[in-house]
Amino acid sequence: MKSSESKRESKKQISPESEFNQKVSFKNYIKTIEGESKKPIPFWRFLVPLLIQTGIIFAVPVQGSFTNVIGRRTILQTASVNSTNLLRDNSLRVDYDISRANNLRRLPGWRQLVRQYPGRNRRSAPLADGTRFYVILQQPQFSNSSIPTAWRPIRIATRRPNSVPQNQVALEGQYRDGFITYGLETYYIRDNQLQQINRDIAQLQRNRRGRQSRQPIFVELKVDEQGNTVPVSLWVRDRNYRL
C-alpha cells in the first residue's frame, strides 16, 4: 500500500521530458531519427575529409622539401658508422661527436642546463633523462675544398635562439643515458649503395690504422630556422653518397 503510493508520487514528480525519455528507448529514438534523415550525404562531406587526410599524409615530405630549399647547409662529424642488414632492412646507424654528452660538457651553457634539469647522479647521470636542449654549431673558418670540414659546437642553449648568425645553426637534441639524439641517427639505404659504403669505410679504416686523427666521415644536412633538419648526403673522405 505504502510502496504503491510512493510510486505514484515519484511518477508525478517526473517532468514531461523525462517521461518522454522513459517511454521511448534510445534505440527506438535512433530508428525514428534515421527514418527521418534518409537524405544522402553530399559528396563534399566525403571529399573534404579525404583532402584533409591527404594533407596530413603529405605534410611531412612537404616540410622536408621546404627545409631542403631554405635550410642552411651544415656538416656533422661522425664518431662511428655501423651498417645493419637485418631482415633485408638496410640501415645505416650513425653516431656523431656531438651525440656524446662528454664532448659537450665543456661548452658554455652546459652548466646552466645541468643546474636547471639535474639528473639522478652528478657524475654518471648529470642531466635528467628526456631533457631537450639546443646545440649551436659554427662553420669553421678554414675549409679545404675537396674534403668538407665539420661544423664545431660552440655553445648550449636551453631555448631555441631567436636568430643565429649566418655561419651558425641550432640543432635540437634530447638527452638520454649519456647520449644525445638529434633524429639524424638512422638512414635507410638501398642494398647496392650500402655495400659500396661499407667497402669504402673498411678501406678507410685499414689505411688509418694507428693514426689518431678523426675519421673523415661526415653527414651533410640542411637546417632551417625552426630547427627542422633534412639529411642530404654522406661523405666518406671525398666520396659523396646521397641519403
Partner 1 sequence: MLDNFRTKLRQEAQLWRDEGLISSSFYNQLADRYQFNKLEAAAKNQFNMILIGVGSILLASGVIIFIAANWQVWSREAKVVLLFSLFLTISIVGYNFWKEPKPDNEGKKSLKSNKKLGEALLMLAAFILGVNIAVMGELYNPRGSRYELFLAWGLGVLTMAWGLRSLPLAIFGVILTQAGYWTGIGELRFTGELTWARLLVQHMPLFSWLVFIPLAYWVRSRWVFALGAIAFASSLQFNLNSLQLLSFSQAAPWLASFAFALPPALFWSYDDLLFPEVNYKLFQPLARTLTLLFFSIIFYLLSFSWWWENRVYNSVDRSAYNTILRSFPLIDLGILSGLAVIQWLYLFRHRPNRQFRALDLNSVFIASFIFITALVPFLYQASSRISVFAVFVFNVLLALLGSGLIREGVEFNSRRLFWAGLMLITLQILTRMLESDNSWLFKSLVFFLCGWGVIAAGLWFEQRTKKAKGS
Among 109, 138, 178, 182, binds partner 1 (CB under 8 A): 182
**Interface size with partner 1, residues (CB under 8 A):** 63
Task: Please answer whether residues 113 and 131 qualify as being in contact, where contact means their C-beta atoms are separated by less than 8 angstroms.
Answer: yes
Site for partner 1 in 216-235 (CB under 8 A): 226-227, 229-230
Nearer to partner 1, 90 or 139 (CB): 90
β 132-138/239-242 pair status: unpaired
Nearest to 181 by CA among 234, 233, 131: 131
Nearer to partner 1, 184 or 201 (CB): 184
Work out whether 199 is an interface residue with partner 1 (CB under 8 A): no
Site for partner 1 in 114-143 (CB under 8 A): 116-117, 130-133
Among 160, 178, 196, 198, binds partner 1 (CB under 8 A): 160
Among 8, 20, 112, 208, binds partner 1 (CB under 8 A): 20
CB of 190 to partner 1, least distance (A): 7
Task: Please answer whether residues 183 and 98 qualify as being in contact, where contact means their C-beta atoms are separated by less than 8 angstroms.
Answer: no
Among 53, 143, 167, 207, binds partner 1 (CB under 8 A): 53
Q: Round to the nearest angstrom and report the end-to-end CA distance of the chain.
A: 86
Nearest to 95 by CA among 176, 228, 186: 186
Based on the number of CB atoms within 10 Å of its own CB, is 109 exposed (0-12), middle (13-18) or buried (19 or more)? Answer: middle
Q: Can you tell me the distance from the alpha carbon of 214 to that of 207, in angstroms, rounded to the nearest whole number?
A: 13
Residue 220's beta-bridge partner residues?
Answer: 75, 233
Residue 208's beta-bridge partner residues?
Answer: none
**Which residues contribute to the site for partner 1 (CB under 8 A)?**
3-4, 6-7, 10, 12-18, 20-21, 24, 26, 29-30, 33, 40-41, 45-46, 48-50, 52-54, 56-61, 63-64, 88, 90, 116-117, 130-133, 158-160, 172, 174, 181-186, 188, 190-191, 226-227, 229-230
